[in-house]
Structure 1
C-alpha cells in the first residue's frame, strides 16, 4: 500500500510517500480501505516529536480516517493512534462510527476529532452555561470553526473569535461570532490582547476561553477572565511553553485553567459516542456546518502541512490516498 512514512523527526520535508506492507489487524481490529484521511495541527507536532506523547520511528502519521472494511461493509469514520496517512489501516471498530449518505468524507473527518474536541471543550471542560461569553482562539480553524457554532447553539450570550486575517475573521462572524479580533495584538504585549478581548465584550471580562496557542495569547486570555471564568487549553501552536500560573492569580478572581487532550476520551469511548451521536446528525441536517479547507493528494502531504503551519488554511484539511 502507499503510505506517508517518516524515519527522522523534523518539518514537512521529513514526510515521504512510500510503499509499505498492508497492516495486519491485531485481535479485535479490522482492516479498512481508506477513502479520506484527516490532517490535524497536532500532526505537525507528531512529526517533530514535540507533542504530548513521545513518538517512535519509523511512523505513519494520521489520527483519523474515513473508509470501509476491506471485506465490504458500511462507510465509517474512525480515530487512530497513528497510521491514517495511508491507503489502508488496521483499526478497532469501537473507535469507528457509521457515516450516513448525507455526510461527506470531509464533513465526517471534521467532526470526529476536531468536532469531538470542540464538544468536550465546551461541555466537559468549560461547563458552558447559558448567557456566558465565550472566546474561541483560532476561530477559523478546524476546532474553532465548530466551537463557534456550538457555543452559539448551546446558549452562549456572546461569542468572540480570533483569526489572523480579515477573511478569516469574516468567516468566524458568518459562522456565528459576534466579534472577531486579530491575535497578533498579543505579539508584543499580552495586556493589549486582554484589552481587546474585554473591549469586544462591551468592556467586561469574559467567562470562557478556548485556547490552543500558548505564550502571550494564553497570558492575555487568562487576564481577561471574569470571576469564576475558565480557560481551557488544548494546544500549543506557538511552539512555546506558557509561563507558570501563580496560584494567587487564580484565587484573586476565582479563575480556573483546565487542560484537555482528546486522547483521554479514546480510553473512554462512551465520551466519544456522546459527541458523535449529537454532531453527525447535526451535520446531516445542515444545522452544523463544517468548514472544509482543502483536499490534497497523498503525494502533496508536505504542501498540506506547509499550508497549515503558514496559516493559509481554514477549517478541515483532508488527504486523498488514491492520488
Structure 2
C-alpha cells in the first residue's frame, strides 16, 4: 500500500496546532448576556427550568452586570417583569417602569464597559401574554401594535438603551421604530431586528423566566419552523427597512437559516441561544450524560461557525471566564 501524501491529520496533532489553525474562535466580546429584572423582587428569584439563571432584583442585576463587565463580554440584553400588567402593556412605556429604570441604572453604572440593550416587545407587559395589542376578535393587531412599539422605542432610548431588540415579529416594525427614534432625536440608537424568529417549542423555560401570561400561541406572527426561505425573506425586509443588526432565533434548530442570512447580510448577524437550548444542556450535564463545559463551548462555537457574529447566551459571563 502506498502511504497517503495528503494527511489532514497533520493539522490536528497537538492542542497548539489545533489552536493555530482553528477557523472559528470564541471571544468574550462576541457574547451578550440576557438578564431578567423583576419589579417586586428584593433578592434573586431562581428560575426552576433554567438552573443558574434568576429573575434579578435591581441590586442583584447591578452586581451581575458589573461581573459581566469585568468578564469582558460585549453586552447585556434586559427583559423586564412588571408587577402589574394590562391589555396594552402600559408599563412598557412608563419612564418609571421596571425595564426603563433598570436600563437607566445599568447605563449609568456599566455603560462604558458594556453595551446595554433592551428587549422591545409587549409580551412581558401584557395581561394576555401576546407580543402586541389585541383587536375585538382577540387577534394581534399588527398596525396598532406598531404604534405601541414606537412609543416603547422612544421610552427605552430615553432611558439610555444603546440597542433596541425588536423581538415582536410585527410586519414593518423596523421602519416604524427607526422613524420614531429619528424623530425623537435618537439617531444614534441602534435597531436589532429579530428578523427570523420562529415559533419554537424550545421557548418553554423563557415563559417561566418572564412569568408569561400567554393565552394561546404566537404562530400568526412568529415564523413556521417548516420554512427556510421565509427566514431569508424576513431578514431581507428588515435590512431594507434600516436594521443595524439582524437576528436569528432560536439558534440550535435554525443553523441553516442563520447561514443563509449571514450570506446575504451587509450588517452584523446575531443569534440567540434560547432558554430551551440552555435547559437541555444543563439537564443532561446534571445527570452526567454529557460533559457540561465541553458541550456549552461546542454549542456556542457551532452557532458562531454557522455565521453568527455575536451570540446571546445565558452562559456569556461563565464562558468569558473560561476563555480568559
Higher strand share: 1
TM-score (norm 2): 0.32
Normalized per residue, which structure has more helix?
Answer: 2
